Amino acid sequence: MILLGACAGWSLITAAAHGGRPEGMLLAVLAVAAGYAAGRVSGALLPVAAPSAGAAAGLALAVTLPALSPGPWYAAPLGHAGATAALLALATGAACCAAWATAVPALRLALWALACAVVTAGAVLGSTAGCVAGAAVLLCSLAAGSARGRGVWLAGTAVAAGLVAATIWAVAGDALPGGLAGALEGRFTAHRVRVWRDALWLAGRNSGLGIGPGRFGDLSPATPRTPLSDGKPHSAPLQQAAEQGLVGVLLLVAVFCWVLYALWRAPRPTPVALTAGAALAALAALASVSNALSFTTVTSGAALLAGWATARPWTGGPPAPRL
């Protein structure tokens, strides 16, 4: 709550300094807080049914609303939209968490089948990133069944997400060797790379308070030249750096690290915690190369998954006295 309050407060400070529009950030903070609270409560009461329903809902949203973004559908490797890919990754994680939480063999098999169906849906929908991210979460969840500790696994997911963000930052700063930079830039649209570089340029000129939340589309040189642009840099770390300065980036990283810490300390079975960590790391990677976190369905879904994976199962009796 302290970190979320700091995120909301800093967005108001940067908006007041530059006349920004903090409504989007405040809505995201509200969605995360509400989703996490709902996940903790429903996960305590219904540790299997709640994530199962969440997985089915995520799959239904991805199938019935493939165009979650009001802007253009960007080219490979993101497929239709970063939000769709993120929903598929979160739905896979929720189905796998539910599978590890149940002791009924038939139900566990059905939930593994649901996770496989979500991954397959990514391929059918043309969301390459959603299919790959879902498959990675599924494989990590299967491997988590033999894990003996959480710390190394969760640290590995944090490093993987950090490497993706650092690579995108390096692409924006033209800091990679020529061959590697050309290969990576070839996987994204030219417009996407331009807005990344605009975001890094704006962040360098306004590293303290940023340019103000919601103002990237107004000040980015590349955005006005694209009629269908949604005015976002399609990278959560770069957007935070440009609009809210280095403090905004540190707050974003702190929230992600706190979630991993909560999973490390969670009373749920280790495979459940590690599966949720893998799904949230996949979301972090997708958010580094897309505008996935700009959608309430994604932010609330991520918070729900974190709540389910950290919920303390309800025993129905009074707490045991401390001796």
For 227-253, write each residue's pLDDT tens digit.
445 667 889 999 999 999 999 999 999
Which amino acid would we find at residue 169?
W
95 pLDDT more than 90: yes
| pLDDT value at residue 230 | 60
Vertex 7 angle, CA 274 and 204, to 5°: 100
Is residue 68 within 8 Å of 230, Cβ to Cβ? no
| pLDDT value at residue 316 | 62
**Banded pLDDT at 68 (limits 50, 70, 90):** low
| pLDDT value at residue 6 | 95
9, 22, 30, 299 from 214: Cα distances, Å: 15, 7, 17, 17
| pLDDT value at residue 166 | 93
89 pLDDT more than 60: yes
- Give the CA diameter of the chain: 69
Cα–Cα dist 156/89, whole Å? 18
Q: What is the pLDDT of residues 178-233, one digit of tens each?
A: 677 777 777 777 778 888 888 999 888 888 888 888 888 777 666 555 544 566 78
For residue 204, count CB atoms less than 10 angstroms from its CB and return exposed for 0-12, middle for 13-18, buried for 19 or more.
exposed
pLDDT (average), residues 148-173: 91
Task: Determine which of 27-31, 75-79, 133-137, 230-234 has the lowest per-residue pLDDT on average.
Answer: 75-79
pTM of the model: 0.90
| pLDDT value at residue 76 | 38
Q: For residue 277, what is the DSSP state?
A: H
| pLDDT value at residue 225 | 53
